[in-house]
Amino acid sequence: METKLNKASFKGIEGPVLTIVMDGVGLTAANAANAVAAANTPTLDMLMEKYPMVKLKAHGTAVGLPGDDDMGNSEVGHNALGAGQVFAQGAKLVSQSIESGKMFAGETWKKLIGNVKDNNSTLHFLGLFSDGNVHSHIDHLKAMINQAKAEGIARVRIHILIDGRDVGETSAFDYIDPFEAFLADLRDANFDIKIASGGGRMQITMDRYEANWKMVEAGWKTHVLGEGRQFASAHEAVETYRAELGVIDQDLPAFVIAENGAPVGTVGDGDSVVFFNFRGDRSIEISKAFDDAEFTHFDRVRYPKLVYAGMLEYDGDLHIPSNFLVNPPEITNTMGEYLTNSGVSILAISETQKYGHVTYFWNGNRSGKFSDELETYIEIPSDVVPFEQRPWMKCAEITDKLIECLESGKYRCLRVNFPNGDMVGHTGNFVATQCSMEALDLQLARILKVVDKLHGAAIITADHGNADEMYELDKQGNLKLGKDGSKKSKTSHTLNRVPCIIYDNFSGGAYTVKEDAGEFGLSNVAATTVNLLGYEAPAMWDASIIELK
């Protein structure tokens, strides 16, 4: 149960406490790659100039990833924001399970292997094909392939989702060509292994939050049915599409690898399939297609009888998928649970693209609410258009509804995610991302007026960087230029810290913001929030950013 702060001078903010997550907005120098700095953002500029701000770590070990060269992402970022603690995350869990041998000693791996051997069938691997370490890592795939051969599996097919988002936008050959050499070294008379299909991650298979089931259907037709344009190799497919369409890797159309006019690796009865992504949001829909006999979102045409497993359990409450190789982190004692136990009314709101982040991920990978009575979740449907064509996304509509909820007086603690900086930033389009930040800034101005009217407070922060580095930079911070002198777009997240601004005009100096010694991370926001509400933070949480006088 909650404990009220033992400070007579401060019983909590009079009005509501609002956390604003500017998704994908990091902090770095105002250089030629920084779309945040290039944008006209008078409200954000004012906040950074006049209000206390600390710079939060939002990547690497600060959010539970293996090392500090690992970029943060929205999933682990919102886990940390909502949990108040740092838990070992997917990449680290999987790597540890592989290194210890625990994965291969587990019942799911044995079931996958046993099924293939019993049926003299095929073991398939499907997932994001890079070392971005946000959704997957190619080393995990290689380790499983090596183990499959060691255990006597005769036939393996790999279905690759080209990245170009968490890694360089045109880096596909950096993965495809060495991987083909890796396969060639393994291949022998007793081990038949080939890439069977693929396509860009933003075109097939990896939809999330049911925003575009057509992507998943396209993936099913490609990987399972073997329908689509045929090529002799993945390299040929990428090379051809680039020449014909001029698209970056994440937008490559689907392709099928064929020999003598026939696909080399359709999925059939008796096969086993591993979806080797460890991050959950873009894994759930394809898992439903493979795992749910009553599936109705599209016509699967053919539903093979097979054994399917995810790298992790992507939804712990709905148990999706039913088979998984590594147990996900058990995230407990989250802020949502604490506040509802304390009787605090909560609102969570975003558009579809980040709705799951302010609900499922914020609550520690938990579907549903802690309290139907105290919690309200609002999803503003996202547009299904390329983000660079509508960079403002739904920020105005989100703000309309948020202001309505603030003024209703129903909610003591609110959280909102604006996806603009991340989703538009991933397109690599500098001008569109600059526009997205200007659209967001207009909404910040609207929101803060209402916060003041209600004598409330706001925490303005982000979950990771993205829009702050739209072009590739060298170690000296200079633009990397192509042979033709062109800038090289960067579509991945950054390693930059993110802002955490405490906006409060009514506490009367009852607290101070602690000195920023560079040690604060996203997990420090939870304790800060409950302190502003007038409660002590649980002992297991990371320390608050504020200190009462």
Respond yes or no: is residue 74 known to be catalytic.
yes
> Which listed residue (74, 171, 436, 492) is catalytic?
74
Distance of CA 464 to the CA centre of its chain: 10
Which helix (H) or strand (E) is 22 found in, with range? strand 17-22
Distance of CA 483 to the CA centre of its chain: 33
- For residues 384 and 395, what is the distance between their CA atoms, to the nearest angstrom? 15
d(CA 114, CA 270): 11
Provide the H-helix boundaries in 24-66: 35-38, 42-50
Task: Name the CA dihedral angle for 176, 177, 183, 184, rounded to a multiple of 10 degrees.
Answer: 160
> Residue 472: CB partners within 8 Å, gap ≥ 6?
33, 168, 479, 480, 487, 488, 489, 490
Instruction: Show the tokens assigned to 102.
Output: 């625990």
Quickly count: other Cβ atoms within 10 Å of residue 331's Cβ: 20
Helical (H) or strand (E) element with 129? strand 123-129
CB atoms within 10 A of CB 210: 13
**HSE-CB for 471 with a 13 A CA cutoff:** 21
Q: How far apart are CA 1 and CA 197, in angstroms?
A: 53
Instruction: Give the pairing type, strands 255-259 and 192-200.
Output: antiparallel
71: Cβ contacts below 8 Å, ≥ 6 apart = 59, 132, 133, 134, 166, 464, 492, 493, 494, 495
CA dihedral 441, 443, 444, 446 (to 10 degrees): 130
End-to-end CA gap in the chain: 24
Give me the half-sphere count of Cα atoms (radius 13 Å) on the Cβ side of residue 536: 10
**Token code pair at residue 128:** 């994001």
Question: Which sequence positions are flagged as catalytic?
Answer: 74
